[in-house]
Chain A
C-alpha cells in the first residue's frame, strides 16, 4: 500500500513525458495541411481554350502569290531565330535549309510548311517537313552526336497538284531549339 503513491507518481510522470513529447513533435512538424485537398492540384482543363483541330499552318501563305519558279517566305513566329538558305523549287519539290541563329544546343522541334501555287498565284495546298527529336523512333536528328544548328528539308508537291504547282512559299510555324 505504501508503494502506491510512488507508482502513481511514476505513472503520471510517464504520461507527462509522453504528452510533452507528442506535443513538441506536433509543434515542430505540423501535419501536412493540404495533402487531402478535395481540389486536384494540377489543372487539366481550361475553360475557353480552343482545342487544335489539325496541323499548324501560317496565315501568310494565303496572302502570298509567288511568281512561277520562285520560292517566297511566309512569315512565322520564329523568324528572328533562323535564316533560310538555298530555297529552290523544281516543280516537284521545294528544297532548302534553315540555320538556327539564336542560342542553340540542339534542335528539338522544327517544322517547315510549304504552300504551292498555280500560275495565277493561287494557293493550291500545303505540305510540310517535320523534324522531331526522338531517340525512340530512329530519328536521324536524334540527340546523339554533336548539336546541330542546320535543318535541311525537301517538301514534295502533293499528288493532286503535281504538274499544276509552279511556285512555292515556305515558313516555319514550329521551332524549339534547346
Chain B
C-alpha cells in the first residue's frame, strides 16, 4: 500500500508540474499569437510613405486584382497610428500633451526607434529635447549585430532615427549651421556645438558605431575625417567619402567583414525605373533594395561569433519621395522593389525560424487613391498628375501625358467631375494597365483599369498597414500605435521593458 501511495503521490506531483507548464505555455502562446519561439533576430522593413492604397495599387499593378504582394502573404496584419506631437509637448496622457495629427518621417522614426512621441523634425530626442536611446543602440549594447539599409541618404530621417540624436532632421551634414540645427523653441537657449543634439548626423553615424552594416546613399554628407573615423572602428568602407567615390553593386557583392559601410550615391539612390530604362548608366551600378537587404542579412547573420542575433532596419525611401511628387508610375515601381526586399527578409526568416519580420510604414503620403473609371474629381481644382514625373533630371523618364499639375478648367471644375472627363484627349488621372487587362491596353489610356489620384503633395494622417511574420508576430495584430513598435521589438530582443 505504501508503495502504491508513493506512486500515486509522485504521479499527482508530476501531473501538477506538467499542468503548470502547459497552462503557462498556453497563456504565452495565446498572448503572442500562437508562436512563442525565442526571437534571435528582428528585421524591420519600412516603406516610407506607404499607405494602404500604395500596397493595393502595387498589388493590382503587378499581380492583378486576385494577386498578392509578398508582404500581403504574411500571416499577421495590423494597422498603426502615426500622429506626432508639438514642440515641448508631453507624452500621451500627460497634462501638456499636444498632438500633431500628421507626422513627418523624423518624429515617426523616433516613435518606433525610441518609444516616444516627439515633434516633427526631431530625431532621437523627445518633444522636450531630451536624448532618448534607440532600439539599435540598445541592441548594439546588448551584443546584437546591427544593420541599417535605406534607398535614401543614410543621414535621412528614417535611418538616422536609429543612429543619431538631433533637434532637427535637416542637420545632416557635412557642416554645422545654427539655423539648421538649433531649436530654441525646444531648448530655450542655443546649445554648445559640443552637444550631440547639434552635432551633424553624418558625424554621429561615422563615430558612434551603432550600426555594423550601413548601406544606402548620401555620400556627400561624409568627409575624409569621417572615413578615417569609420576605418578606425574597423569598418570596411566601400567607395570613399574622402575622394567622394561612390560604392557600386560589385563592391557590395565582394564585401565581407563584421562592419561594412557602403554609400552608392552622393544623394538618394536612383529610382528603379531609371535604372531599368538606362542599364548602362552609372546609376544602374547601384544595388537594389532587395540586393542590399540580402547582403545585409548575409553580413549580419554570417559573421563569425554572432551568437546573439541581429537587428536590421531596411527602408524603401523612394515610395515617399515619388509620392510627394505625385508620381504614380515610379511610386508603384518603388513599392514593388520594396516588396521584393520583404521577400528577401521573409525567406531568411523561414529558414531561420527565430526571426521576427515586421513590415510597415511611417506615414501615408499624398492621399493616394484608387478611383473608379470615369469618376475623376479633382479636389484641389488643379489638373491631375501625369503618369510619370519629368520635372527634374533625376526622374527623366518620358511622361505618358505631357502636361499636369496646372489648373485646367476643361478637365476639372474642382468638386465635381470635369466637363471634359469623358474625352480621352482630356484624360485625367494617372492610369495603369494591370495583368488582368487585355494585352492591347496601354498605360496612360482611359481603358487601363487602374486609375490613381492624389489629394496632396505631402503626408497625410492616415493609419498605415502592418504585416508581420515569425515568433510573437501576433502581438502586432490589430490596431497599435507607432510607439508600441518600440515595446514589441525591445521585448523581442530583451533590451527594453
Contacts and interface: CB of A to CB of B under 8 A. Distances in A.
B17 A9 contact: no
A24 B321 CA distance: 48
A155 interface: no
Interface residues of B, number: 90
Given A46-B208, A103-B394, A41 B134 contact: yes
A147 B458 contact: yes
A26 B117 CA distance: 31
Interface in A20-47: 20-21, 23-25, 28-35, 37, 39-46
B325 A105 contact: yes
Interface string B175-219: 111111000010000001111100100011001111000000000
A21 B179 contact: no
Nearest to A77: B220
Given A24-B21, A105-B320, 6 more contacts: A34-B138, A77-B174, A105-B457, A111-B179, A132-B170, A147-B324
Contacts of B93: none
16 contacts: A9-B13, A13-B13, A17-B16, A17-B20, A24-B21, A42-B137, A42-B165, A46-B208, A51-B199, A52-B176, A77-B174, A102-B394, A103-B395, A111-B179, A143-B104, A178-B321
Interface of A: 5, 9, 12-14, 16-21, 23-25, 28-35, 37, 39-46, 48-53, 55-56, 77-78, 80-81, 99-106, 108-109, 111, 130, 132-137, 143, 145-147, 149, 173-174, 176, 178
Contacts, number: 214
Contacts of A104: 321, 324-325, 392, 394
A50 B203 CA distance: 10
Interface of B: 5, 9, 12-21, 23-25, 28, 36, 38, 87, 104-105, 120-121, 124, 131-134, 137-138, 140-143, 156-157, 165, 168-172, 174-180, 185, 192-196, 199, 203-204, 207-210, 220, 225, 229, 266-268, 271, 318, 320-325, 391-395, 405, 457-458, 490-491, 494-497
A133 B131 CA distance: 22
A14 B497 contact: no
B170 A109 contact: yes
Nearest to A148: B457
A51 B138 contact: no
A118 to B, nearest CB: 27
Contacts of B405: 146
A103 B321 contact: yes
Given A16-B13, A102-B392, A130-B179, A51 B193 contact: yes
